[in-house]
Structure 1
Amino acid sequence: MRRLLTFNPWLYLLFFLLLVGAVLAQQYRLFERAWFVVEEWQHSGQWREHSLWLGDYRVVIDAKPIEGIRDVSALTYDPDRRSLFSVTNKPAKVIELSLQGELKRTIDLEGFGDPEAIEYISPGIYVIADEREQRLVKVRIDDDSRVLNAADFQQLSLGIGLNGNKGFEGLAYDARKQRLLVAKERDPVRIFEVLGFPHVDESKPLALQVNTDPKRDARLFVRDLSSLDFDAATGHMLALSDESRLVIELNAEGKPVSTLSLLRGQHGLQRSVPQAEGVATDDDGNLYLISEPNLFYVFRKQND
């Protein structure tokens, strides 16, 4: 006698919840992140000696408001001035900060549509990324700078995979190889390597080259990219993700070796970082972070 199939709503609900959980886990790259935790634990003794090893960092300035500033985006360290630079886009400005997060000055930007990143290149020379137009602008900043007009400076428009406001979101510079690393925020997440810009030696012709590393980008278990930083001492790169609340350290081969979580309770944080937009390190290995609307953080390595 044929058995009658009975409808079990709990079984269907369980199946639905498992399906939703699997989709969310894939969307948030939880499987890759969990596997990296295992690898990090297995190789910690080997990797720790040759990296920044972000797991050892603890917050020493936690969510300090930057007075008089909102809508901060990106961060870079200037070793000559011993200060930090960031940009805002409403209104468009460059801001200079002390290493304690105090506002030192603002510089007006003209002719920039949506400035989202700034990177120190050499004494007085910076590159600003205009997100929507995927434009890079080489600018000069000195003690007397009050206004920077994009029309006055060398520019490069790449227009790679134009996608509204999901364009260039972060910059980093490797001075030894003279390569500019450019982060595309998402859809998909990408890190481009630009050689030949900014044009340093004007006596030589411009030779531009743009490289990608799909294998490295596939290892980035994050939903988006907000900022980049390059550590000359180790040759490693830091990649900041706002949506994943994470900083990832990548070695010279582009493999993740350590992470810094931006969630409450991690690394001494009293609250989760609300919207991380910029990361930078100084010559002493201190890590600086800014978050919208105007919050400033400093992390320092603990050697206990």
Structure 2
Amino acid sequence: MSEAYQYLFGPVPSRRLGRSLGVDLIPFKRCTQDCVYCQLGETPCTVSERAEYVPMDAVLSELERWKASGGQADHITLAGSGEPTLHLRFDEVFKWVRERTEVRSVLLTNGSLLYLPAVRRSAALADKVKVTLSAWDEASFQQIHRPAQAITFERLVEGERAFREMYSGELSVEVFIVDGMNSQIEQCRKIAEIVRSIQPDRIDINTAVRPPAVAGVQPSSLEHLQELAALFGDRAVVTASFKQTDVSTDIVSREMLLGLIKRHPSGAKQLAQEFGVSPKELKQTLALMVSEGQLLMQDRGGETYYFCRG
């Protein structure tokens, strides 16, 4: 994407979605949960009240501008800085995608508001939906996800089950493994039983590869994730590792880098792959942005990750 947008970012490469244009409807870190593993850092104050957090007319205008400029993507995805279903009009993005493009739409949600019938109806307009379920009871849910007061584990599970009953599109459940919190075999057996009751088309097993919100949160090893994935059946795949081919040959501007890093803290190698540029060239730009105070760095698993201040 060669020009700056306020609500659009990417296209971001995805192993499953190809080139995914992101749509961000929520101000930074406005979320129903404060997950210990979140790559965007801690949520200052969790919320469960739905509102028009950003003007939908402006979002749709940016989508029209992107389309008019010849923008290309394999999917258009609601994701980004917070929980997208908090936005009262998030369904209008899916309607726009269906009416104005031949691209498929995706909703990435933690699933916490699917207990609300209106949210389920809106979410069902997406071609693909991914929800999260990484706990097995209220205590583990509170420990890992630290939700807003109105959000309970029972509501989460009931909402995701009810959504599956009405939704005919592709439904995925992400299970995020945090070493020492939900990584034991017996804990995952309980999670797997609940996930199976939701009847997803796919189960993604993930872990905290990028720097997490809470210091000390550690990823599980690939070998252990593969062992845990077997508990979830043949629909489960380990998605924690990431490699992707180039998706763009455009010159990378600082605005493009900031737009992506704000929502997806990343290493130089991954960013180079995403933008189709030389890692050496990109590292020089990133180092300059760090020296000027635009970015911060943090080492994680032998790789340096870049993320935005604030």
TM-score of the superposition, structure 2-length normalised?
0.27
Higher strand share: 1
Higher helix share: 2
TM-score of the superposition, structure 1-length normalised?
0.27
